[in-house]
Chain A
């Protein structure tokens, strides 16, 4: 029975959960709820942040409004570092013990997207980078291409 566990026997990650810190004093519900909430935060947060990044750049490429372009420029540069940003954030969330459930949520979100693309790859002739040679015009990436040329 989990309720019979003495404070000294509690797992280390639950050590900071004090009944007095919680309005209802119900530590068991906190124990069950908190990691799942953090997981959901990581999972859905990843979708929201990355959709904003990707969507804003996609919008910027189609809009002719100079003011909107100026507002969205920071997103544009953030997207250029999307791999190190995502990997870096994942590393930090994974290493810091308190944030690990958030990290797991992010990890599951990325894995899910990759799995979906792999399954979708069964219906497209996605060989290992064959599109670079046979279908490169459909995969051109003007914004990153321009940035890399400017380096």
Chain B
């Protein structure tokens, strides 16, 4: 583990914060390039991206009440703690949900009929690749459960090896980024479908990787994150079922 990445004149640069900022910068860059390629009007990029950013940060923070319990509420529900640098942003799942919701509302408020959010899909996947290195180097949440697999890693204070789950996440997201880039021009992956597909893929992966993580079990042996993933998959499944029925109806008419 390497919680302190390096020092500048005795000032420690922590790996978690460093990779988080690097991830956000990469996300912005990929988003900018993708939106330019998609000829997304400049007047819409800024408000939608800012809304997604703020929504993501609020979502990441507020979702902690669901994932970590009501005892976190005094800090989580205080809006001004959002600007406290001693506290990390929160859960990526809550962040993704908040960003999607806020981006969607901003998009509709601007009067966009379709969804320009597909530009976010590869950007978010690549950002998670980078961000997870910070989680791994800082040993966040004890990384994972005990394992005797050859790629298990030691953690200070533990006498056993653990699953390097942030690296699993990073590896999946790197592959997923490639898939999303390959599919971005597919006719069926337009108008928000690429983002929904990207989110569904990550939710499915995250559901299984949660069995190797140390998160709090909420109900029936499943963690809050797993319930969230199931909910997300259900909502996306419901959307596509409805969409499929509508298309079939139109075809018969």
A, B in one complex = yes
Interface, chain A (partner B; CB < 8 A): 50, 54, 79, 82-83, 85-87, 90-91, 94-95, 100, 104, 107-108, 110-111, 113-114, 116-132, 135, 138-141, 144-145, 148
A126-B85 CB under 8 A given contacts A86-B79, A111-B53, A118-B24: yes
Which residues does chain B contribute within 8 Å of A129, judged by CB atoms? 64, 68, 72, 87-88, 90
Listed by A's residue number, 17 A-B pairs whose Cβ atoms lie within 8 Å are A94-B47, A94-B109, A95-B109, A100-B109, A107-B51, A110-B54, A117-B82, A117-B83, A121-B88, A123-B12, A123-B13, A126-B88, A127-B88, A128-B88, A135-B86, A141-B78, A145-B74
Task: Report the separation of the CA atoms of residues A118 and B90 in the bound assembly, to the nearest whole angstrom.
Answer: 12
Which residues does chain B contribute within 8 Å of A122, judged by CB atoms? 13-14, 17-18, 21
Interface, chain B (partner A; CB < 8 A): 3, 11-14, 16-18, 20-21, 24, 46-47, 50-51, 53-54, 57-58, 62, 64, 68, 70, 72-75, 77-91, 105-106, 109, 135, 138, 140-141
Which residues does chain B contribute within 8 Å of A113, judged by CB atoms? 82-83
Which of A83, A85, A126, A148 contacts B86, CB < 8 Å? A126
In contact, B57 and A125 (Cβ under 8 angstroms): no
Nearest B-chain residue to A116, judged by Cβ: B83
Task: Report the separation of the CA atoms of residues A143 and B232 in the bound assembly, to the nearest whole angstrom.
Answer: 34
Nearest A-chain residue to B98, judged by Cβ: A87
- Interface of A, helix, strand, loop or mixed by DSSP: helix
Task: Report the separation of the CA atoms of residues A138 and B140 in the bound assembly, to the nearest whole angstrom.
Answer: 20
In contact, A132 and B85 (Cβ under 8 angstroms): no
In contact, A118 and B77 (Cβ under 8 angstroms): no
In contact, B24 and A94 (Cβ under 8 angstroms): no
